[in-house]
């Protein structure tokens, strides 16, 4: 898309690129697997102090330790980490001796993960794959999807993914994931910045960020309109479905999973009223 036509700003296109999209409308361009953006994203994944593309090192250690304990992860288990990024969780899970597969859309993350498998960790496999298209059959004891990625999907994609996970798990297998809840405080906001190189491009660009709320289902949308100097425009959209406990429990039941335990997060902290996240442990029914 281009918002400069001839020597004029095409105000109609500009307006379209910043107005509230219909819920779950896709981005105009690649995000996770874009060559430049994935490089920026990898830097965030690997920063142990910042919760951005991955959680902080401290949180990852607390979560992996709780998940390992809860699921009795050991060398007899096979684990599938969906949207594994550069493998921060996979590497921890593999220390138990479990056979761990990490899959991710981002070629850059998968390459990094493969290049950094520790010597002796022959029980790890990374693969570039879209989890909505995976076709594993009763292969895994444990599947994980971490950092609220379930919330980024449309309702149809969520159902499709639950079916894929159901098929990938052995009988009695467990699906462990986290979601953002309806208790999260959200606001409709707008911000504009002019950047001389940054997250979206090494060249100069204008970034217009708008956040929107949707009520059916309750979802937060963030829309980034990125306008390059020549008027080339990309619109990137991310969503967070905000779940209530009953709602996510019903969705899991309807898709053949039984919720076994819900915590405040994947560190296993006790659920409290007003919790803004849930860490969910559900078993294949």
Give the residue with the Cβ less far from ligand SAM, 83 or 221: 83
> Does residue number 130 form part of the binding site for ligand SAM (CB under 6 A)?
yes
Q: Are 149 and 278 in contact (CB under 8 A)?
A: no
CA distance readout (Å), 279 to 71, 93, 123, 129? 13, 17, 26, 24
> Does residue number 109 form part of the binding site for ligand SAM (CB under 6 A)?
yes
> Does residue number 222 form part of the binding site for ligand SAM (CB under 6 A)?
no
The tokens for 80 are 């599938």
Residue (of 70, 92, 66, 72) closest to 81 by Cα position: 92
CB of 260 to ligand SAM, least distance (A): 21
> Does residue number 32 form part of the binding site for ligand SAM (CB under 6 A)?
yes
Of 7-15, 145-153, 174-182, 197-205, the window that binds ligand SAM (rule: CB under 6 A) is: 145-153
Give the residue with the Cβ less far from ligand SAM, 99 or 112: 112
What is the pattern of x (binds ligand SAM, CB under 6 A) and - over residues 78-107? -----xxx--x--------------xxxx-
Of 146-154, 176-184, 222-230, 277-285, the window that binds ligand SAM (rule: CB under 6 A) is: 146-154
Among 14, 98, 146, 280, binds ligand SAM (CB under 6 A): 146
Give the residue with the Cβ less far from ligand SAM, 3 or 41: 41
Give the residue with the Cβ less far from ligand SAM, 3 or 144: 144
CB of 229 to ligand SAM, least distance (A): 28
CB of 32 to ligand SAM, least distance (A): 3
The tokens for 49 are 């102090």
Nearest residue to ligand SAM by CB is 83
- For residue 2, the tally of other CB atoms under 10 A from its CB is 12
Among 3, 14, 42, 54, binds ligand SAM (CB under 6 A): 54
Q: Is the dihedral of CA 101, 75, 73, 260 positive or negative?
A: positive
Residue (of 239, 193, 167, 228) closest to 20 by Cα position: 239
CA distance readout (Å), 246 to 47, 182, 215, 237? 35, 11, 16, 27
Give the residue with the Cβ less far from ligand SAM, 104 or 220: 104
Q: Are 166 and 174 in contact (CB under 8 A)?
A: no
Among 10, 29, 149, 167, binds ligand SAM (CB under 6 A): 149
Could you give phi then psi for residue 283, rounded to 5 degrees?
A: -110, 145
Q: Are 38 and 108 in contact (CB under 8 A)?
A: yes
Contacts of 238 (CB under 8 A, 6+ apart): 31, 152, 221, 222
Beta bridge partners of 237: 223
Q: Which residues bind ligand SAM (CB under 6 A)?
A: 32, 45, 53-54, 83-85, 88, 103-106, 109, 130-132, 146-147, 149
């Amino acid at each position: 898309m281009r918002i400069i036509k001839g020597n004029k700003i095409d105000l109609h296109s500009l307006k379209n690129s910043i107005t509230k999209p219909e819920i779950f409308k896709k981005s105009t361009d690649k995000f996770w697997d874009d060559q430049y953006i994935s490089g920026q994203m990898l830097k965030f994944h690997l920063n142990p102090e910042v919760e951005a593309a991955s959680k902080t090192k401290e949180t990852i250690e607390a979560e992996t330790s709780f998940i390992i304990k809860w699921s009795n992860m050991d060398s007899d288990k096979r684990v599938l980490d969906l949207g594994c990024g550069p493998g921060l969780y996979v590497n921890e899970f593999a220390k138990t001796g479990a056979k761990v597969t990490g899959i991710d859309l981002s070629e850059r993350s998968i390459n990094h993960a493969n290049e950094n498998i520790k010597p002796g960790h022959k029980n790890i496999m990374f693969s570039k794959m879209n989890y909505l298209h995976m076709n594993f059959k009763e292969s895994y004891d444990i599947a994980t999807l971490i950092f609220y990625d379930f919330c980024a999907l449309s309702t149809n994609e969520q159902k499709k993914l639950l079916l894929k996970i159901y098929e990938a798990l052995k009988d009695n297998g467990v699906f462990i994931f986290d979601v953002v809840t309806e208790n999260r405080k959200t606001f409709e906001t707008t911000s504009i910045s002019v950047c001389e190189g940054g997250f979206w491009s090494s060249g100069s660009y204008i970034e217009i960020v708008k956040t929107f709320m949707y009520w059916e289902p309750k979802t937060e949308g963030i829309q980034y309109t990125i306008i390059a100097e020549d008027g080339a425009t990309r619109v990137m959209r991310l969503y967070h479905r905000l779940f209530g406990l009953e709602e996510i429990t019903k969705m899991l039941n309807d898709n053949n999973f039984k919720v076994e335990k819900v915590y405040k997060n994947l560190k296993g902290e006790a659920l409290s009223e007003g919790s803004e996240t849930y860490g969910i442990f559900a078993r294949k029914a």
